[in-house]
């Protein structure tokens, strides 16, 4: 009898040891995100990280069997933080651009949405020339109406693709005001300190236009998607040489797209396909 009890005890300990070893060997990955870009990533009233980026990150970590934790980082310190090994990957609505790929590697996209301007309702700003066809909701290349925008002030979040687009295309005619967060840029528009804001259309819609502060504002002009400035969608950034992690995350993106997990997260936040064509 004692031999049987002893054997059973050894078996239980062996199972526990194997399970513990497996858990201990799960790859730990620290995810950098901003926590100030609703609905993609933000901190709720209880101090908890929420948003599309956060839910996607958790789904990817579950699919890839990664042990993940989040690290909150200001946007303009995001890539420096990754390179300094404060975290291992960035899941923070970071667009895949040639400029950024000089410093970091990216997975494929996990969503893709256009940029747009917003103005106070009835302000009457003309963003593109007649040849630009403002009625088209999502275009890659248009001719900006510099004459009508001359001397106007436009708010953007600094160190973003939005800032690069403005500096390259309107820097000689407008005043560009940059802010640490998108919320700060939106607040100055609401206060009348700037004429326009340029940012991701979904972030502006959910994070501002659908709020009380944004009720007197509206989109103006077409959506902008030219890959030269706006890249190929939002991807996950990793340090150069981290090919195993990048490959694992790419595989996980494909998995959650295929098994319906992505659609469940998409439908929680949006009434359209945010992944894009």
**pLDDT 10s digits, 215-262:** 999 999 999 999 999 999 999 999 999 999 999 999 999 999 999 999
Q: What are phi and psi of 91, to 5 degrees?
A: -125, 85
**pLDDT value for 130:** 75
Instruction: Reply yes or no on whether the pLDDT at 19 is more than 50.
Output: no
Q: Distances in Å between the alpha carbon of 186 and those of 67, 118, 195, 233? A: 36, 9, 11, 23
Contact status, residue 35 vs residue 43, Cβ threshold 8 Å: yes
CATH of 115-230, one of 3.40.190.10, 3.40.50.620, 3.30.450.20, 3.40.47.10: 3.40.190.10
Instruction: Reply yes or no on whether the pLDDT at 23 is more than 90.
Output: no
What digits encode the pLDDT tens for the residues 48-68?
A: 999 999 999 999 999 999 999
Q: Tell me the pLDDT band of 25, cut-offs 50, 70 and 90.
A: low
pLDDT, mean over the chain: 90
CATH of 26-112+232-269, one of 3.65.10.10, 1.10.1040.50, 3.40.50.620, 3.40.190.10: 3.40.190.10
What digits encode the pLDDT tens for the residues 60-96?
A: 999 999 999 999 999 999 999 999 999 999 999 999 9
Instruction: Reply yes or no on whether the pLDDT at 38 is more than 90.
Output: yes
Q: Tell me the pLDDT band of 142, cut-offs 50, 70 and 90.
A: confident
**pLDDT value for 45:** 96
Q: Tell me the pLDDT band of 272, cut-offs 50, 70 and 90.
A: very high
Q: Where in the chain is the domain with CATH 3.40.190.10?
A: 26-112+232-269, 115-230
Two tokens, residue 181: 């967060």
Instruction: Reply yes or no on whether the pLDDT at 163 is more than 80.
Output: yes
- Mean per-residue pLDDT for 107-121? 97
The gap between the terminal CA atoms of the chain, to the nearest Å, is: 67
Contact status, residue 110 vs residue 97, Cβ threshold 8 Å: no
Answer with the residue of higher pLDDT: 84 or 19.
84
Instruction: Reply yes or no on whether the pLDDT at 137 is more than 50.
Output: no
């Amino acid at each position: 009898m004692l031999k049987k009890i002893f054997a059973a005890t050894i078996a239980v300990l062996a199972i526990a040891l194997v399970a513990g070893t497996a858990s201990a060997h799960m790859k730990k990955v620290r995810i950098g995100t901003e926590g100030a870009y609703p609905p993609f990533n933000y901190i709720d009233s209880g101090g908890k990280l929420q948003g599309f980026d956060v839910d996607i990150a958790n789904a990817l970590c579950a699919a890839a069997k990664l042990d993940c934790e989040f690290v909150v980082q200001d946007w303009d310190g995001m890539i420096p933080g990754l390179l300094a090994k404060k975290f291992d990957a960035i899941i923070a609505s970071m667009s895949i651009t040639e400029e950024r790929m000089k410093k970091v590697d990216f997975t494929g996209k996990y969503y893709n949405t256009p940029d747009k301007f917003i103005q106070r309702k009835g302000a009457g700003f003309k963003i593109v020339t007649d040849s630009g066809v403002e009625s088209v909701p999502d275009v890659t290349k248009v001719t900006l109406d510099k004459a009508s925008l001359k001397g106007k002030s436009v708010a953007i979040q600094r160190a973003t693709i939005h800032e690069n687009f403005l500096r390259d295309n309107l820097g000689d005619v407008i005043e560009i005001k940059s802010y640490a967060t998108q919320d700060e840029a939106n607040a100055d528009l609401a206060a009348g300190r700037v004429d326009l804001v340029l940012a991701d259309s979904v972030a502006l819609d959910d994070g501002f236009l659908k709020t009380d502060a944004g009720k007197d504002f509206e989109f103006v002009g077409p959506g902008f998607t030219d890959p030269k400035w706006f890249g190929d969608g939002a991807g996950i950034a990793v340090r150069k040489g981290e090919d195993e992690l990048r490959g694992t995350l790419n595989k996980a993106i494909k998995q959650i797209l295929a098994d319906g997990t992505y659609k469940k997260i998409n439908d929680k936040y949006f009434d359209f396909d945010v992944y894009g064509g």
